[in-house]
Chain A
Amino acid sequence: MYVAVKGGETAIEHSLELLADRRRGDRDVPELSLRQIDEQLALAVDRVMTEGSCYDRELAALAIKQARGDLVEAIFLLRAYRTTLPRFGDTLPIDTARMVAERRISSTFKDVPGGQVLGPTFDYTHRLLDFALMANGEHPAAPTAPVDTTNDLPRVGDILEREGMLEPPPSAENDAPAQDITRTPLTLPASRPVRLQNLARGDEGFLLALAYSTQRGYGNNHPFVGEIRFGAVPVSFVPEELGFAIEIAEIDVTECDMVNQFAGSHDVPPQFTRGYGLAFGHAERKAMSMALVDRSLRAGELSENATAPAQDEEFVLAHSDSVEASGFVQHLKLPHYVDFQSELVVVRTLRAEVEARLQQAAE
């Protein structure tokens, strides 16, 4: 019996072998290639890149394959890799007005400069299982309209802002580079750049539930989708030895600008306020949830009554990370028999004392 708790080393080795075997599954079924995952499970790749804070489609695909499709596990794999990478410097902020948008919608105006572009979306699909996909039928290529790559695509928010209807983007406290939350510990209260980083890395399910709660009265902030856009933006970097910016990459991002009512106060006339969301790849649910929660967390700054969970900065920021949450919840699987033994000893003692008292009372 005592031997059963020994032999951990062999047990771990066997477990790893079993896991590798299960990952591969039936050898008669062809192995997935990373390209297949990247191309055909692209939204899973997008989520892993976003919450893994690392834009690399191939590595994200590898993580998904290794994690057997468990996206939270894949995010963990990518993060643990990312943390070992050397830092060369910070890129310049991306300019989403320069986006080559594949999709762009606004729910605040019927038409906007640059137009409403539906693009690829699940929004108007009927959720009927497509049995044609079961038969491996090839789908013909979709007709594509020529995309305007010459002109900037003005943001709806900027148009409202010029009119004074929408507040200017809340600026960072100062011009210092934003603190990197993967290198320095969180201190509270947090600056908005820190909050936004935290939310960008935050678990989509957690943010979705919080965002949803604000729509059900737990911290209502009367949101409208100012704009959602998805497409490619250039990334630029200023190498110290050159002293000017060079374009080093192009990445796909989804951006969401929420426009929220604000009643105004004694000194400030009523105005619309902003909530902002950004995610790698195509991830509208994530970007919208992030934007709603961002706006909720601005309650203090806008002198609103902060009473709901989604307005509680410490609660939200401390619990948004799936890698932290998953690790700590699952650590309960580790042996705790020393602590449990301590509890057994004291509970037995307390029970004996109570029973003795009851006995005495009965006599």
Chain B
Amino acid sequence: MPDGAYNYAYLDEQTKRMIRRAILKAVAVPGYQVPFGGREMPLPYGWGTGGIQVTAAIIGRDDTLKVIDQGADDTTNAVSIRRFFARVADVATTTRTEEATVIQTRHRVPETPLKEGQILVFQVPIPEPLRMLEPRETETRTLHALSEYGVMQVSLYESIARHGRIAKTYNYPVLVNGRYMMSPSPIPKFDNPKLDRNPALQLYGAGREKRIYAVPPYTPVKSLDFDDHPFEIERWTECCALCGSRESFLDEMIVDDEGKRLYVCSDTDYCQERQGAQAQGKEAP
């Protein structure tokens, strides 16, 4: 039941309108970081306040919400955020990617392909893809205005010169619809191809930095690379110990004092769906 002492979905209507206007601008200018009057939320900065504000501005009683952190529905911060919305927005929650209308995520894109009509809300710590190369907002804003992204190309090229390959593994920069360079948030680059022409709407919220940006459905999202060093994703020689998947992103766990490793899917819903299907397969006559 919603908590009567607070507004529906926590934010007051004026704040929701302000965020909604920012979201529409973000959709109209894909990949551009729209400044918004981010509010202080009852959860700490850096723990998903941007994603929470975006979700609070879009969510309604007809929605089914899924929250994941590191791909899992049952990690503590995902649990905490899901409980927050169940409490203040009276909303149905699910762990199943297929059933969700709104999915708030930190650090992963679900393995199960998303559908048109679903909204994926990313929690973003540092929205500016150039921030670690140029700490000044005044500078990076000019670089975006001029579409001047050479500094990132140089940085990636230096990585190739040093390591023989692009060693950047997460928060791997992308170009949205051929115009804005965008941080995909700290998802592993494994997930970058899922952003490209995805049928779902992607909304990105950065609370502390007070920015919202978006990728509309079916929008081209290209991971930066070079002709002679094309973009590539992580691969494992192992498969998931629980469902046997060779296609999903695997978490590595140390299971004994000798350092023995076990690999399992980071996406818990995907893994459980596969285990369920396999169990059914065995039971079938």
Taking beta carbons and an 8 Å cutoff, which residues of A are in contact with B?
1-2, 5-9, 11-12, 76, 79-80, 82-84, 86, 182-189, 314, 318, 323-324, 326-331, 334-339, 341-346, 349-350, 353
Contacts and interface: CB of A to CB of B under 8 A. Distances in A.
- Please classify the interface of chain A as helix (H, G, I), strand (E, B), loop, or mixed, using the class held by over half of its residues: helix
Interface string B163-175: 1110101110000
A185 B76 CA distance: 30
Contacts, number: 147
Interface in B93-132: 106-108, 125
Contacts of A5: 72, 74-75
A1 B70 contact: no
A8 B79 contact: yes
A80 B42 contact: yes
A342 B72 contact: no
Q: Which of A80, A327, A342 has the most CB of B within 10 A?
A: A342
A126 B147 CA distance: 61
B234 interface: yes
B208 A328 contact: yes
Contact of B169 (A184, A185, A188, A339): A339
Contacts of B157: none
B35 A334 contact: no
Contacts of A330: 44, 46
Q: Which 7 A-B pairs have the closest CB atoms?
A: A327-B45, A331-B46, A327-B44, A342-B169, A328-B46, A185-B35, A8-B79
B7 interface: yes
A184 B37 contact: yes
Given A80-B40, A80-B42, A339 B47 contact: no
B210 interface: yes
A334 B188 contact: no
A105 to B, nearest CB: 35
Contact of B255 (A1, A339, A345): A1
A335 B70 contact: yes
A335 B77 CA distance: 9
B116 to A, nearest CB: 26
Contact of A331 (B44, B74, B211, B266): B44
A332 to B, nearest CB: 8
Given A12-B79, A341-B250, A346 B35 contact: no
Nearest to A325: B45
B136 A345 contact: no
B275 to A, nearest CB: 12
B218 to A, nearest CB: 26
A326 B35 CA distance: 22
Contacts of B253: 1-2
Interface in B15-44: 35-42, 44
A318 B138 CA distance: 12
B267 to A, nearest CB: 10
8 contacts: A5-B75, A8-B79, A314-B138, A334-B46, A337-B251, A345-B169, A345-B235, A350-B163
A3 B249 CA distance: 19
A84 B88 CA distance: 13
A178 to B, nearest CB: 15
Nearest to B162: A350
B138 A188 contact: yes
Contacts of B77: 334-335
A184 B34 CA distance: 12
Given A334-B69, A338-B266, A342-B234, A323 B45 contact: yes
Contacts of A2: 242, 253, 262, 264
